[in-house]
Amino acid sequence: MTVRIGTRASKLALTQTQQTADQLAAIGGFTVELVHIKTEGDVLTGSLSQMGGTGVFVAALRDALLREACDVAVHSLKDLPTGGTPGLALAATPKRVDARDVLCARDGIKLADLPKGASIGTGSPRRAAQLRAARPDLEIVDIRGNVDTRLGRVPGLPGNTTDAVVSGKSCDLDAVVLAAAGLERIGRLDAVSEFLETDIMLPAAGQGALAIECRLADAPPRPGSSEGSRGVLAQSLAALEDTDTRLAVTAERALLARLEAGCAAPVGAYAYRKGSMLYLEAVVCAVDGTATVRDQRATDGLTEVGATLLGIELAEILLGQGAADIADLAAS
């Protein structure tokens, strides 16, 4: 038996997919084969929000599953639109790693110590808005590219291949903001000058988590459902499932869905379980950072239904506090 696992061809995608493939093979005793799928996000240039958002990294992989060009697809969960695809299932959410954002700055400078007018690169409206709220005196620069390309925009970072200053290409920024999880997976945490705590920057919904999708017929049954499979692949996928991660990302994604927040909406959300409670905190920011609404709630309903209701409840609270007035939630 050979299980074909679809992946984008970026360094980060290949790394996290290979790690997942190795785990599945070890559990199931089958061989695995990586299938490289080119997505619109890998081909198009320009701002991520103008391209159609995070979904541009997912659609081609989902299509490959439906065409049976692969059996499993591995996504960064934050790239997964909140709407599902008929015939496919979110089969497993492995244990989440560090969900925080990180600052990678020249000379190891921290956010509070960057000089007035310093330039910080990010392609995320969520990060840009929260940076402006924290430091309105900084210059936020919209950037694209893979992790190594973005790190290459900051002079002196470990692992950079050049020290030549080329505007728009290399060593031309004071700092960039990236996800801790991605740097951890490709072994570049040495470039981090500061882990940004959630009181400064709430992460994207699902950040730090992986989403493993497959066809519904091959997926392990979800609680309360008879749909799915008891086959070797399904059992192997079930072994990768982390219940606390599933609850947390379910709450975060339910909040996004209720807000009807598009990929370019400046919304941060982070949920975590502590003891018998599931906590969820979220923020909606004006793009220019001049206004924010932020709140948190908790539930003892430690089920997917309970997590979903928590996300909806907090979204309603934020909307009641004017979230839709300060941000274009439908931005795509």
DSSP run (H or E) holding 294 = strand 292-299
Could you give the angle at which helices 11-28 and 232-240 cross, rounded to 10 degrees? 120
Q: Which 3 state secondary structure label does DSSP give 9?
A: coil
**Rounded Cα–Cα distance for residues 95 and 100 (Å):** 15
Residue 199 among the catalytic residues: no
Question: Would you say 251 and 271 are in contact if contact means Cβ atoms under 8 Å apart?
Answer: yes
- DSSP letter, residue 136: T
Sheet holding 210-215, edge to edge: 31-36, 2-7, 72-76, 210-215, 88-92
Angstrom distance (rounded) from CA 7 to CA 313 = 35
Separation in Å, CA 62 to CA 58, 65, 316: 6, 5, 31
Are 310 and 316 within 8 A, CB to CB? no
Of 71, 79, 101, 218, the active-site residue reads 79
Helix (H) / strand (E) element for 245: namely helix 243-259
For residue 226, give both structure tokens. 């008879």
Closest CA to 216 of 63, 91, 60, 81: 91
d(CA 294, CA 289): 13
- List, in order, residues 6 or more apart from 89 with CB less than 8 Å away: 213, 214, 215, 216, 219, 222, 228
Show which residues are catalytic.
79
